A and B are shown apart, each in its own frame.
Chain A
Amino acid sequence: MTVSHGIVFKVNGTEQTVEVEPETPLLWVLREQLGLTGTKFGCGMALCGSCTVHLDGQAIRSCVVPIREVAGRAVRTIEGLTGPRGGPHPLQKAWVAENVPQCGYCQSGQIMSAAAMLAERPLPSDEDIDAVMSANVCRCGTYQRIRKAIHRAAGEMAASRGGDS
């Protein structure tokens, strides 16, 4: 295994250079090299979604994406998630309003999956939510509240878009 010299990529808008083995999963680079511990390790096999972040806007499971594939691209983590006008993302506010988290361990991943979905489908149906959010496990069983919080955030985003026009 060779240490690659300087993989460069963007995290939450800032350029970062890391020196790690090119096969190191993005998850562990975020957590260990960059100290971004909001992204969690749950399974290491793309089965639970705890490690979900955005890579060029797409939700990905960072536990199975080697850092070499991230070179030159842009990553967003829960720490860098913001709403359309800056500040906390409407999903984060909805998560608090609906009291979604229990232990909270899965919730960064849940929010990142939901945020990527809303970017593509601003008003998701229950079926859309089933299709996308079924990739994220919550052992504490907060699914019902996650669904409600997504609808709430989507509604609020739609209302504020309406306010713009």
Chain B
Amino acid sequence: MTRRPSRTGASRRDFLRSSVGTSGALVIGLYLPGCARHSIRRREMAEHAERTGEFVPNAWIKITRDNQIIFTLDRVEMGQGTMTSHTMMVAEELEVDPGSIRVELARAERRYDHDQFFMQVTGGSTSVVEAWQPLRKAAAAAREMLRKAASAAWNVKMSECEAQNGAILHKPSGRRAAYGELTEIAALLEVPSPQLKKPDQWKVLGTPLGRLDAPAKSDGTARFGIDVVVAGMVNAVVIRCPVIGGKPRAIRADAARAQPGVSGVFPIRNGVAVVADTYWRARSAAAKVEVDWDEGALSGFDTESFRKELAHRAEEFGKNVRDHGNVDRALASAATKLEVVYEVPYLAHATMEPMNCTAHVSDRGCEVWAPSQAPGLARELIAHMTDIPFDDIVVHNTLIGGGFGRRLAQDYVAEAVDISQRIKKPVKVVWSREDDMQNDFYRPQTYNVLKGGVDAEGNPIAWSHRLVAQSIFGQIGKDWLSAMMPDWMPRVAKLMMGRSGARMFKTSVLTDGTSVEGAVEIPYAIENLNVEYVEHEPGVPVGFWRSVGHSENAFVVESFIDELAHAAGRDPFEFRRALLKKSPRNLGVLELAAEKAGWGKRLPPGVFRGIAQHESFASFCAQVAEISVKDGALQVHRVVCAVDCGQVVNPDIVEAQMEGAIVFGLSAALKQQITFAGGRVQQSNFHDYAMLRMFEMPRIEVHIVASDESPTGVGEPGLPPIAPAVANAIFAATGHRIRRLPIESELANVGKIR
């Protein structure tokens, strides 16, 4: 997801703002300064300490009398390392050993709303960025209050009281008090806004501290959503229509109801629920249910005709999302002209932990345990579904077995709540892999017409990109915008604002930044440049997929710039370099990756290189891929990655995120596509939606640019460059230009043509 305003277009945040802004005057209450929401009133703090002995200076930190330091993590841990990086920020300013901090996962509460998304979500590679100032300040404030408390208790100067390893030390007298001994006094003090430590004073930040969740994830004790057990709980599975959006018309379930342990078979909004005492009994009984479906609007949907539809739409003029110079005139005068089409397919997230949720709707309210990236959105949705007041809806978070954007949607939560409401019992709903693969919110399929021109000296003088894509916000904007509204707003008003906002994306009054990100903000100095966007809505559910629009657009842009380099007869690295003089951070990673990869140096016979760079989520990343193609079979041997993500909280986590994003991006680039026939998703499990496996794993080297800039995202920026780097290397190896993904099926097609 876009985090910062792009140079030319507006970011998603701005879109949301503007859409919210045009919908009415009710939004003033939203613009609370970031920290105010996290603070706790002084009287509350003192009373709480008197009652419990606990010092709770803000929404994140709690210190108990028996010296436990508890940090409430309000961004989910789904592998990206928030548990470690956020705890490091707290540890640094609080002057405690990060290993001594107990981390608890926050439930959904408005005070944990995201500063940019106005609700509690984890996404957009923003978790470190967003916490960087407020979380460190909160920890520093707590530290200062403890110092002041000690100085008051001992009647000494505060300047002589030093915070050290979980205790305050009075140097002159050698007196020492653990934080726990000072909680009640500290809680009486005013929360200050202290100075943060300078990077040269850091002891924890910037170090490759081991992941705090690694031990539990290596001995089987880590608890994920799927592992939740609640007293009195039953299990349910949902039989879904083979066509997304279809509904059950008739059910024959006598055989299933007679199965052991089965307590109910009934239709719900999106399918048929089968409830039993255990998952396996529910799953086995489900196989015996016969359902007649009303297949709904997507019934005839077909990938091949959809491609034609997209090509047809590409004949129209789109909305100009970036336009300067005169592309037509420049193309007319170009010495060499190119006009080509790039296509990328729908993609599934296929998180390792399938969708699941445990819910309990009772007279007292609703309690949910969900591996969700957007617990705030879940709460909103439950309120709309059930009419239960906000305060009686509790959404607990769990560890998450992979998110990648899939768990920003809350469909699996809605389902569990729906079933629990009907059976009036706590229920866990677990999806099969097939359910998960065939009922995703897919990365949009896109169609791109690219035109480019190079002059006689080999300089690129024209670039035109017409992009046909589906708008994610056109689909989900309604729910998102209404969840962003404050809780005091009447539900109807929330919904209305949500709807009107979403409509604006559909009617192209607003441009969905997630469709065009990565295509609009091309950093290359090309005088005549035009990017157009045609919004096309076939009704297939779409969503955020690791790096979102960048995942599609970087492939297109970084492949086509490579085409222009070759058309100009220039080296692809030098060609880019010459065009990036005014983009120092893009240039920085490009040169670092090229240097570390030994660009221009001899490779073993049969091995070829490709390069690509891309900015996303305010971070810069370049990659050089080394590959070989033998008898149509591609092997990626080595990937050299350079990343500039500002100051680094934990270099090992940055490296791990780059490695992970490269593998995720390689799986997609090489192997993955979601296709439809007769409305049915044709892929179902890991045999036909394949993942990179150990034997295909390239050697990955990550180099981090030293920087004093504020930290920027690392969960997603490693992904966009890999597909074009590999495709560019394939061109170097074979002279064949990959213009459609996935690569393995393209290479197979080439083989057939030969």
Are the C-beta atoms of B401 and A40 separated by less than 8 Å?
yes
B697 within 8 A of A: yes
Query: In the assembly, what is the distance between CA of A144 and CA of B222, in Å?
Result: 22
Contact of A105 among B259, B279, B401 (CB under 8 A): B401
Contact of A139 with B402 at beta-carbon distance under 8 Å, contacts A44-B433, A77-B220, A99-B211 already known: yes
Contact of B659 among A45, A78, A130, A144 (CB under 8 A): A144
Are the C-beta atoms of B221 and A143 separated by less than 8 Å?
no
B128 within 8 A of A: no
Contact of B218 among A50, A107, A143 (CB under 8 A): A107
Q: Which residue of B lies closest to A3 (CB)?
A: B260
Query: In the assembly, what is the distance between CA of A109 and CA of B135, in Å?
Result: 35
Are the C-beta atoms of B399 and A104 separated by less than 8 Å?
yes
Contact of B352 among A28, A96, A139 (CB under 8 A): A139
Query: In the assembly, what is the distance between CA of A48 and CA of B81, in Å?
Result: 23
Determine how close the nearest CB of chain B comes to the CB of A93; give it in whole angstroms.
8
Are the C-beta atoms of A21 and B400 separated by less than 8 Å?
no
Are the C-beta atoms of B284 and A1 separated by less than 8 Å?
yes
Q: Which residues of B lie under 8 Å from residue A45 when comparing CB positions?
A: 433, 685-687
Q: Give the interface segment out of B224-232, B376-384, B483-491.
A: B224-232
Q: Which residues of B lie under 8 Å from residue A137 when comparing CB positions?
A: 352, 686, 691, 693
Besides A32-B279, A95-B218, A101-B213, 13 other CB < 8 A contacts? A1-B259, A20-B280, A21-B284, A45-B686, A78-B220, A95-B217, A97-B210, A103-B399, A104-B79, A139-B402, A141-B662, A141-B663, A144-B700
Chain A residues in the interface with B (C-beta under 8 A): 1, 3, 20-21, 23-25, 28, 31-33, 35-45, 47-48, 50, 77-79, 81, 88, 92, 95-97, 99-108, 111, 129-131, 133-134, 136-147
8 contacts between A and B (CB under 8 A): A21-B284, A31-B279, A44-B685, A45-B686, A79-B221, A96-B218, A140-B79, A143-B693
Are the C-beta atoms of A102 and B80 separated by less than 8 Å?
yes
Q: Which residues of B lie under 8 Å from residue A131 when comparing CB positions?
A: 695
Q: Which residues of A lie under 8 Å from residue B279 when comparing CB positions?
A: 28, 31-32
Please count the residue pairs between chain A and chain B whose beta carbons lie under 8 angstroms apart in the complex.
Answer: 180
B608 within 8 A of A: no
Are the C-beta atoms of B220 and A129 separated by less than 8 Å?
no
B652 within 8 A of A: yes
Query: In the assembly, what is the distance between CA of A60 and CA of B212, in Å?
Result: 30
Main secondary structure of the interface of A (DSSP, over half): loop
Contact of A104 among B217, B226, B404, B694 (CB under 8 A): B217
Query: In the assembly, what is the distance between CA of A13 and CA of B715, in Å?
Result: 41
Q: Which residues of B lie under 8 Å from residue A20 when comparing CB positions?
A: 280
Q: Which residue of A lies closest to B697 (CB)?
A: A143
Are the C-beta atoms of A21 and B352 separated by less than 8 Å?
no
Q: Which residues of B lie under 8 Å from residue A144 when comparing CB positions?
A: 659, 697, 699-700
Q: Which residues of A lie under 8 Å from residue B351 when comparing CB positions?
A: 103, 105, 139
Query: In the assembly, what is the distance between CA of A142 and CA of B224, in Å?
Result: 18
B555 within 8 A of A: no
Determine how close the nearest CB of chain B comes to the CB of A13; give it in whole angstroms.
15
B632 within 8 A of A: no
B588 within 8 A of A: no
Are the C-beta atoms of A32 and B280 separated by less than 8 Å?
yes
Query: In the assembly, what is the distance between CA of A31 and CA of B228, in Å?
Result: 11
Contact of B685 among A47, A78, A95 (CB under 8 A): A47
Contact of A38 among B219, B352, B403, B692 (CB under 8 A): B219
Are the C-beta atoms of A43 and B211 separated by less than 8 Å?
no
Q: Which residues of A lie under 8 Å from residue B352 when comparing CB positions?
A: 40, 42, 48, 50, 103, 105-106, 137-140
Q: Which residue of A lies closest to B208 (CB)?
A: A99
Contact of A41 with B691 at beta-carbon distance under 8 Å, contacts A101-B213, A141-B661 already known: no
Chain B residues in the interface with A (C-beta under 8 A): 78-81, 210-211, 213-224, 226-227, 229, 235, 259-260, 278-281, 284, 350-354, 399-404, 430, 432-433, 652-653, 656, 659-664, 685-687, 691-695, 697, 699-700
Are the C-beta atoms of B278 and A32 separated by less than 8 Å?
yes
Q: Which residues of B lie under 8 Å from residue A38 when comparing CB positions?
A: 219-221
Are the C-beta atoms of A143 and B663 separated by less than 8 Å?
yes
Determine how close the nearest CB of chain B comes to the CB of A62; give it in whole angstroms.
12
Q: Which residues of A lie under 8 Å from residue B694 when comparing CB positions?
A: 129-130, 133-134, 136, 143, 146-147
Task: Kindly list the 9 A-B residue pairs having the minimum CB-CB distance in the complex, ordered from nearest.
Answer: A38-B220, A141-B663, A104-B217, A105-B401, A103-B79, A102-B79, A78-B220, A101-B217, A130-B695
Query: In the assembly, what is the distance between CA of A99 and CA of B207, in Å?
Result: 14
Q: Which residues of B lie under 8 Å from residue A47 when comparing CB positions?
A: 685-687
Q: Which residues of A lie under 8 Å from residue B430 when comparing CB positions?
A: 41
Are the C-beta atoms of A139 and B350 separated by less than 8 Å?
yes
Q: Which residue of B lies closest to A45 (CB)?
A: B685
Q: Which residues of A lie under 8 Å from residue B433 when comparing CB positions?
A: 42-45
Q: Which residues of A lie under 8 Å from residue B432 when comparing CB positions?
A: 44
Query: In the assembly, what is the distance between CA of A137 and CA of B353, in Å?
Result: 12
Are the C-beta atoms of A41 and B399 separated by less than 8 Å?
no
Q: Which residues of A lie under 8 Å from residue B81 when comparing CB positions?
A: 102
Determine how close the nearest CB of chain A comes to the CB of B687; give it in whole angstroms.
6
Q: Which residue of B lies closest to A130 (CB)?
A: B695
Are the C-beta atoms of A99 and B214 separated by less than 8 Å?
yes
Q: Which residues of B lie under 8 Å from residue A77 when comparing CB positions?
A: 220
Query: In the assembly, what is the distance between CA of A108 and CA of B222, in Å?
Result: 10
Are the C-beta atoms of A103 and B402 separated by less than 8 Å?
yes
Query: In the assembly, what is the distance between CA of A97 and CA of B660, in Å?
Result: 18
Contact of A96 among B210, B260, B660, B691 (CB under 8 A): B210
Determine how close the nearest CB of chain A comes to the CB of B401; give it in whole angstroms.
3
Query: In the assembly, what is the distance between CA of A62 and CA of B165, in Å?
Result: 46
Are the C-beta atoms of B219 and A79 separated by less than 8 Å?
yes
Determine how close the nearest CB of chain B comes to the CB of A140; give it in whole angstroms.
5
Are the C-beta atoms of B214 and A48 separated by less than 8 Å?
no
Query: In the assembly, what is the distance between CA of A141 and CA of B660, in Å?
Result: 4
Q: Which residues of A lie under 8 Å from residue B284 when comparing CB positions?
A: 1, 21, 23
Are the C-beta atoms of A105 and B224 separated by less than 8 Å?
yes
Q: Which residue of B lies closest to A109 (CB)?
A: B352
Are the C-beta atoms of A41 and B697 separated by less than 8 Å?
no
Are the C-beta atoms of A48 and B218 separated by less than 8 Å?
no
Contact of B660 among A48, A50, A140 (CB under 8 A): A140
Are the C-beta atoms of B700 and A101 separated by less than 8 Å?
no
Query: In the assembly, what is the distance between CA of A44 and CA of B260, in Å?
Result: 21
Are the C-beta atoms of B685 and A142 separated by less than 8 Å?
no
Q: Which residues of B lie under 8 Å from residue A35 when comparing CB positions?
A: 229
Q: Which residue of A lies closest to B663 (CB)?
A: A141
Q: Which residues of B lie under 8 Å from residue A79 when comparing CB positions?
A: 219-221
Are the C-beta atoms of A48 and B402 separated by less than 8 Å?
no
Query: In the assembly, what is the distance between CA of A43 and CA of B278, in Å?
Result: 18
Are the C-beta atoms of A99 and B353 separated by less than 8 Å?
no
Are the C-beta atoms of A105 and B353 separated by less than 8 Å?
yes
Q: Which residues of B lie under 8 Å from residue A50 when comparing CB positions?
A: 352
Q: Which residues of B lie under 8 Å from residue A134 when comparing CB positions?
A: 693-695
Q: Which residue of A lies closest to B660 (CB)?
A: A141
